[in-house]
Amino acid sequence: MAESARDGGADRPLNGIRVIELGSFIAAPTAGRLLADFGAEVIKVEKPAAGDQVRGWGLRRGSTSMLWRTLGRNKKSVTIDLYRPEGRSLVKELIRHSHILLENFRPGKLEEWGLGATVLADINPRLITVRISGYGQWGPYSDRAGFGAVAEAMGGIRYLTGHPDRPPTRVGVSLGDSLAGLHAVVGALVALVAQLRDSQAGFKQGGGETVDVALYEAVFSVMESLVPDYSAYGFVRERTGSILDTVAPSNTYQCADGKWIVIAGNSDSIYRRLMIALGRNDLADDPELQGNAGRVRHRDKIDGAIREQTQKRTLDAVMNILVKAGIPAGPIYSSADIVADPHFRARKMLETHRVEIEAGREEEVLFPSVVPKLSNRPGGIRWVGPSLGAHTDEVLTSVLGMRPTELAHLRQLGVI
């Protein structure tokens, strides 16, 4: 697999920013991936011989998963054993020459390794340390183990996911981890902007920052007015399945070919256009249904009328009617549907990269592209997740100035 850049990426917005990623699994690696997409030099430190366990998650063939190829893209893989004092010394030197440190160990692990806040501040006073954990760096639960699934439960989203007559369910992806990664990037960039502002104002001292991201808080942050509704009205939101319980009509409907569509008639004018487009002028003109409150009271009647029409037509036929009428609607896509969709292609949301699927065998594989899209300095995928330790010699030589004999000695000891 080619691990060199597709393009030089000389004008990426985060060029010149060096990030040390000590994290594993999903949350911190998601943050590192986003920073790397926009030009940061992300040095991922992995355990020699083993690497990030995500390399083996979801394997169908070969020895390296497509999840790793996605989360590890644009990063430099360096193998260093953090459980060895020599390895920790190497990481300290890398931190000395970096801007951001990303980690998602349980609180106290960095301190156990002699990499606590005081030590890091002595090494690099301007270091931005991004710490991701299940419950945050302090509080009564901070020493508990916490993964994204647990965070989704405690943060409130699992309680609302699923149908009211069935148990709470997963949303289908590692949402808690991904949300934590996004918040980690926001925190890191805010800290970078603050440093830039301070330097422009003439402040020369310090400037370091610790960004504390708790997985459960990242989930809780997207729960809208869940708690205010409870606090103000004593109202506890429950699972509602596919409907939006405060607005009607907004639901999922099956079409004649067995495919599914989401239709959102969320405003008064859209509702009227929807009913007319589906040939139900009687419901469009019904005085009781002109406002959302009335439509919510008569949700079942409205949903039944919509369902009666969608079940007579294929998904494509329903979409044609609704698009012409300006109704927000969309098909429920599988991965195969996404790959076949022309809009994903036109927006360049799918990129082809050659990767080694099995030993000695490379294939063209589609990967999701970079989000968000910048007009002048866009991000890009220079390479997908590299092989374990692919950049160890390069990084230790270029960043720390180590000689080949030193590298050979550390490799013999099993430190790298």
Type of residue found at 380 = G
Residues 67 and 212 in one domain: yes
Predicted local distance difference test score (pLDDT) of residue 152: 98
pLDDT at 199: 85
CA distance linking residue 288 with residue 294, whole number of Å: 6
Model confidence pLDDT, tens digit, residues 142-187: 999 999 999 999 999 999 999 999 999 999 999 999 999 999 999 9
C-alpha–C-alpha distance, residues 151 and 333, integer Å:
27
User: Rounded to 10 degrees, what is the CA torsion of 185, 189, 192, 194?
Assistant: -130
Name the residue type at position 201.
Answer: A
Domain boundary among 331, 353, 380: 331
Q: Is residue 293 located within the same domain as residue 378?
A: no
pLDDT at 4: 41
Same domain, 323 and 353: no
**Domain boundary, last residue among 271, 297, 331:** 331
Boundary residue ending a domain (331, 356, 375): 331
HSE-up of 85 (CA within 13 Å, CB side)? 0
Are 167 and 304 found together in one domain?
Answer: no
Q: Three-state DSSP class for 85?
A: helix
Residue 9 in contact with residue 39, Cβ under 8 Å?
A: yes
Domain that holds residue 113: 18-222+345-413
Whether residues 299 and 213 share a domain: the answer is: no
Q: pLDDT digits over 307-358, tens only? A: 999 999 999 999 999 999 999 999 999 999 999 999 999 999 999 999 999 8
Q: What is the pLDDT of residues 140-150, one digit of tens each?
A: 999 999 999 99
Q: What is the pLDDT of residue 373?
A: 96
Give the angle 335-339-343 at the CA atoms, nearest 5°: 120
> Among all residues, which ones are annotated catalytic?
177
Confidence of residue 200 (pLDDT cuts 50, 70, 90): confident
Q: What is the CATH number of the domain that holds 383?
A: 3.40.50.10540
> Do 268 and 395 fall within a single domain?
no
213 and 353 together in one domain: yes
Q: CA 297 to CA 291: how far, in whole Å?
A: 10
DSSP conformation class of 334: -
Does residue 275 or residue 200 have the better pLDDT? 275
The three-state DSSP-derived secondary structure of 35-79 is: HHHCCCEEEEEECCCCCCHHHHCCCCCCCCCHHHHHHCCCEEEEE
Same domain, yes or no, for 89 and 179? yes
Same domain, 144 and 76: yes
**Domain total in the chain:** 2
